[in-house]
Amino acid sequence: MTDPYSLTVNGTDHQVVDAWLGESLLYVLRERLGLPGSKAGCEQGECGSCSVIVDGSLECACLILAAAAVGCDITTVEGLQPGRGDFTTVQEAFIAEGAVQCGFCTPGLVVALTDLLARVPHPSDLEVREAISGNLCRCTGYGRILAAAQAAAKAASDE
């Protein structure tokens, strides 16, 4: 057990008590803070399903010790949405383009593509492919996801 600590997630401070230092940020988000949007896939940094944004940087929550994220500004997929039931441009594009099958990789991809479009508003297809190379999807074959990325970029520039 460790002393209580505080994590800033989606703009809100959360107290974490009775936790062990070895818990990953992913575990704490899902099991202690009630934020199950980040998915526990490989838990080895391979699949990207746990992608979150830490101080503006896209990272794998499974390889971050939660206690090491104290003082950081953490954004999960839940924090991207303006409100429950409201979808972001990237999420709307996923729905419209049929980029979701089983859905397990979707939150990580939404976070990764949101990060990409914030840095590169009009990415080439190759830039999209490189940006999501750390996010594994075993259902779609990626075609619809690439289409959704371009649709989201277009929708954002039309707004």
Partner 1 sequence: MKEFGYERPAHPTDALAMIAGVAGARFLGGGTNLVDLMKLGVETPAVLIDVTALPYDFVTDDADGGLRVGSGTRNSDLAAHLAVRRRYPALAQAVLAGASGQLRNMATVGGNLLQRTRCPYFQDVTKPCNKRVPDSGCPARDGEHHNLAILGGSDLCIATNPSDMAVALAAFDAVVFVEEPAGPRAVPIADFYRLPADEPQRETTLEPGALITAVALPALPWAANSRYRKARERASYSFAIGSVAVALDVADGMVRDVRIALGAVAPIPWRAYRAEQSLRGQPATEVAFREAADAELEWAQPLRDNRYKVPLVRNLMVRTLIELVQAS
Q: Which of 6, 15, 124, 133 binds partner 1 (CB under 8 A)?
A: 133
Q: Which of 67, 110, 137, 149 binds partner 1 (CB under 8 A)?
A: 67
What's the distance, Cα to Cα, between the start and end of the chain in Å?
A: 49
Q: Which is nearer to partner 1, 56 or 98 (CB)?
A: 56
Q: Which of 78, 101, 104, 129 binds partner 1 (CB under 8 A)?
A: 129
Rg (the chain; Cα; Å): 16
Q: Which of 78, 87, 134, 146 binds partner 1 (CB under 8 A)?
A: 134
Q: Which of 113, 131, 152, 153 binds partner 1 (CB under 8 A)?
A: 131
Q: Which is nearer to partner 1, 63 or 139 (CB)?
A: 63
Binding residues for partner 1, total number by CB under 8 A: 26
What one-character-per-residue DSSP string does the chain give? Answer: ----EEEEETTEEEEE-S--TT-BHHHIIIIISS-TTS--SSSSSSS-TTEEEETTEEEEGGGSBGGGGTT-EEE-HHHHSSSTT---HHHHHHHHHT--SS-SSHHHHHHHHHHHHHH-SS--HHHHHHHTTTS--SSS-SHHHHHHHHHHHHHHHH-
For helices 89-97 and 143-158, the axis angle rounded to 10 degrees is 130
Q: Which of 17, 65, 96, 118 binds partner 1 (CB under 8 A)?
A: 65
Q: Which is nearer to partner 1, 136 or 155 (CB)?
A: 136
User: Is residue 20 within the footprint of partner 1 (CB under 8 A)?
Assistant: yes
User: Is residue 146 within the footprint of partner 1 (CB under 8 A)?
Assistant: no
**Binding stretches for partner 1 (CB under 8 A):** 2, 20-22, 24, 43-45, 48, 51, 57-60, 63-65, 67-68, 112, 129-131, 133-135
